[in-house]
Amino acid sequence: MAKARSQTKSDKSGAQDLFRKLVERYLQNNPGAETARLEEAYKLASAAHAKQLRESGEPYILHPLNVALICANLNMDEDSIVAALLHDTVEDTSVRPKKIERSFGEKAADLVVSLTKIHRIDLFSRFVGRTMSDEQARNLQRLFVSMAQDLRVLVIKLADRLHNLRTIEALSEERAKRNAKETLDFYAPLARRLGLHELAHEMEDICFRLLHPRDYEWVVSELGKMMGRKTASYELTKTRLKRELTAANIHVKRVFGRTKTPYSAWRKIRDRGVPLDQVFDLMAIRVVVTGEDLDCYRALGVIHGIYRPLFNRFRDFIAAPKSNGYQSLHTTVMGESGQICEIQVRTEQMDDIAEHGVAAHWKYKGHASPYQLRETFSWFEFISDLSEQELDSRDFVEKTRESLTKGEVLVLSPLGEVVALPEGSTPVDFAYYIHTDLGHSTESALVNGQDVPLDYTLKNGDVVEIVKNEEGVPKPQPEWLNIVRSQKSITKIKRWFRSQPRQRRVQMGRFLLRQQIAKSGLYPLNLMENVNLMALVKSLRVRKIDDLFDQIATGSLMAEEVVQKLKHVYVEKAMKRSVRPESEPEAPFTPAIGLAGELGIVRKGGKPLRRKVELAPCCTPIPGDEILGLDNRKEHRVDVHLAQCPAIADEVELTTIPVQWSEEALEKLYPATLRIVALNRVGLLFDIMRELSELSVNLTGGNINIQPTVSHGDGNAVFYLMVEVWDTKQLSDVLEAIGQVEDVILVQRHHESAGGA
């Protein structure tokens, strides 16, 4: 915060104009309402922040005014707007909560206190390189639970973050990028979870522009070109839709277009790997009807009578709403001039909820209770369930964060009940959603009338039926903990395991750990050696190995997390061993021999070298390397080495020839050898090949030594791969990409003459 100074007349005028807009917007939403409390809150906030400036240099009072205006645009209630005006007073000024309670009531004061707690806790310390203390995690856990009890705290906090993003240019580049990453990781997903799509879109685009400026400019430019070409056909489609629907006695409130935001378009291109012109919902046409759900289906029938729908491109979010309350019919059709476009049909109330999410519920339900809202938004039920578990506070925070970014799948019970489950859920998750006893006694499952394994991944629209075991008694299996995705399922299974005798729990924990290691594509025989487990036990402060298994079975430790720690122990041991064990394979060398001009070699200064040359296999030079030629008269050629190649010293009888890379060398591919040491697992080589493919790098040969196996001791997987690259810069990109592959311990350019990198 900048140093204090008194307000000028222009400062006061700007703040008063903003407050006037706030009042006007509030009265539009609440005709005839009293505004005395808003005026008193503005006066208190203005006096409290009178001598404060933001980092941008503008009067601080403009910030709470803008936050309050965002809340008013979301149709928030009076207490929320009062709290938005005062949200920084307790933290940054001498105003105390008791004063707010006396002047504005207990509800407004509670909102301000909750917002102050959020401000005081570093929400993201764990994710930006600092260590979150146990006390911070406990405070954050209590905070999430309290927020789940009053959604208004969340909405005001999101409005606060949005206005901070709008003025983010006042921050240093480092802070601005950190805030942008925090927003994409947490705040934007939270806004989407609440159905606040307008806020989420604006947040995402600001962060996208800041974090990926070149991609942002490209997407905006391409969207502009594409929309320019399609605008005429979209306008014809909208005009015809309105005319035909009206003729069918369907009352149309409005028909309008919605263009996909730059960030949403970029995410779709990146995640689905499709070009921009293959994204069919870049512009969607929204049809808002005045009426009930049935009118939406009538309108859909008319639309399909006009335009041919695309197969498998229809979604019914009216019969099966999203967990944030979103309802609409989505269909993709061949519109005017054969232009493919998405059409969304909804009622006025559905449209309001689609745009304003949770905030719209105050308009239609009055001051809905937290219980009602938790029923509407399944995420809050998840938070409540999570708070009942005996979880470490840090685990609670991480699981809460993960839950914000996960999608959902909508399935049906045999009776037609729509069930929303986390994306990736299995029939076991469905069973536990219906009832705990059904989950405990699950024997098998039918999906769409067909037998499926219990680890089958459910898809939207699946009809799921659970078959109980013949005895009808609880028989949860340890492996279920590795296949369920719903936190509710995990909680119920772990509670059952905790009731079992310790010996049974130890057996289950050992089984779970072995299964998780195998699921990760690794080798239980090596990772579960006692010497590795003992090293892990010490780092986890567990007394014995059996205690480790017991904690895995009861849920105090997750098998997946233990595997990651075991891998870390294993990698540390591998790094301490010899860099080049005797059992390591020979590196593949394919010498490049040809005329100097063909291989991009010229004399120092640029004069042609009219000789045959060989790029020495001992050091495999490539453009970007400093090179030196040796006149090998015996072989009638010039051997080209790295200037620092040790082999040059052994060839004292050969005459050196100063050489360099020609400009034509930049248009050729050259061989280079990579040495990769990694923790062996299933799919490792595939992951490395995928990185090479994404960089458009060709693989020309390789030698591989795969360890450990049943017949080998504790060792590594060692690869020698020969690749073709343009120059040292591309080779550096290859090394960096492979180094990011999970379980790769070491990757380096290999020179045989140097015995390594």
Per-residue confidence at 280, pLDDT binned at 50, 70, 90?
Answer: low
Shared-domain flag, residues 313 and 434: no
| Cβ–Cβ under 8 Å, residues 318 and 295 | no
Q: Which of 90, 182, 72 is nearest to 130 (CA)?
A: 182
- Is 257 a domain residue? yes
Shared-domain flag, residues 202 and 226: no
- Is 382 a domain residue? no
Shared-domain flag, residues 230 and 184: no
pLDDT tens string 471-514: 877 888 877 877 888 877 887 887 887 787 888 888 888 887 77
| Cβ–Cβ under 8 Å, residues 205 and 213 | no
Does 469 score more than 90 pLDDT?
Answer: no
User: What integer pLDDT is reported at residue 581 of this predicted model?
Assistant: 46
- Is 49 a domain residue? yes
User: What integer pLDDT is reported at residue 458 of this predicted model?
Assistant: 92
User: What integer pLDDT is reported at residue 398 of this predicted model?
Assistant: 62
pLDDT tens string 604-628: 988 988 889 998 888 889 999 999 9
In the listed set 508, 541, 576, which residue is the last one of a domain according to the structure? Answer: 576
Where residue 199 sits, what CATH number does that domain have? Answer: 1.10.3210.10
User: What integer pLDDT is reported at residue 128 of this predicted model?
Assistant: 40
Q: How many CA atoms lie within 13 A of 158 on its CB side?
A: 34
- Is 202 a domain residue? yes
Per annotation, catalytic residue among 58, 92, 381, 724 = 92
pLDDT tens string 196-214: 888 999 999 999 999 888 8
Does 561 score more than 90 pLDDT?
Answer: no
Taking each helix axis as running N to C, give the angle between helix 197-211 and helix 173-182, from 0 to 180 degrees, rounded to the nearest 10: 140
Shared-domain flag, residues 139 and 243: no
Shared-domain flag, residues 224 and 347: yes
Q: What is the mean pLDDT of residues 342-361?
A: 82
In the listed set 647, 667, 687, which residue is the last one of a domain according to the structure? Answer: 667
User: What integer pLDDT is reported at residue 84 of this predicted model?
Assistant: 93
User: Containing domain of residue 650, as a range?
Assistant: 592-667
d(CA 678, CA 233): 55
The larger pLDDT score, comparing residue 254 to residue 192, is at: 254
Where residue 346 sits, what CATH number does that domain have? Answer: 3.30.460.10
- Is 581 a domain residue? no
| Cβ–Cβ under 8 Å, residues 443 and 392 | no
Shared-domain flag, residues 160 and 69: yes
The larger pLDDT score, comparing residue 576 to residue 538, is at: 538
Per-residue confidence at 301, pLDDT binned at 50, 70, 90?
Answer: very high
Shared-domain flag, residues 648 and 700: no
In the listed set 667, 699, 723, which residue is the last one of a domain according to the structure? Answer: 667
Where residue 444 sits, what CATH number does that domain have? Answer: 3.10.20.30
Shared-domain flag, residues 537 and 610: no
* Cis ω for the linkage preceding 262 (within 30 of 0): no
Does 590 score more than 60 pLDDT?
Answer: yes
Q: Is 91 a catalytic residue?
A: yes
Q: Which of 586, 606, 608 is nearest to 596 (CA)?
A: 608
Q: Is 92 a catalytic residue?
A: yes
The position carrying tokens 């401000």 is 119
- Is 321 a domain residue? yes
Shared-domain flag, residues 103 and 201: yes
Return the exposure string of 204-218: e unless at least 16 CB atoms fall within 10 Å of the residue's CB, then b.
bbbbbbbbbeebbee
Best-predicted range by mean pLDDT (13-17, 45-49, 480-484, 496-500) = 45-49
Mean pLDDT taken over the chain: 79
Does 371 score more than 50 pLDDT?
Answer: no
Best-predicted range by mean pLDDT (76-80, 355-359, 379-383, 483-487) = 76-80
- Is 330 a domain residue? yes
Pairing of strands 612-615, 592-595: antiparallel
| Cβ–Cβ under 8 Å, residues 502 and 550 | yes
The structure's pTM equals: 0.59
Per-residue confidence at 3, pLDDT binned at 50, 70, 90?
Answer: very low
Shared-domain flag, residues 111 and 241: no
d(CA 600, CA 663): 7
Per-residue confidence at 646, pLDDT binned at 50, 70, 90?
Answer: confident
Per annotation, catalytic residue among 58, 91, 101, 215 = 91
Shared-domain flag, residues 200 and 221: no
User: What integer pLDDT is reported at residue 326 of this predicted model?
Assistant: 80
Could you tell me what percentage of the chain is helix, strand and coil, using 3-state DSSP and rounding each to the nearest 5? 50, 15, 30
Number of folded domains that form the chain: 6
- Is 524 a domain residue? yes
Does 149 score more than 70 pLDDT?
Answer: no
Shared-domain flag, residues 229 and 144: no
pLDDT tens string 677-729: 887 777 788 888 888 888 878 888 777 665 544 444 445 678 888 888 888 98
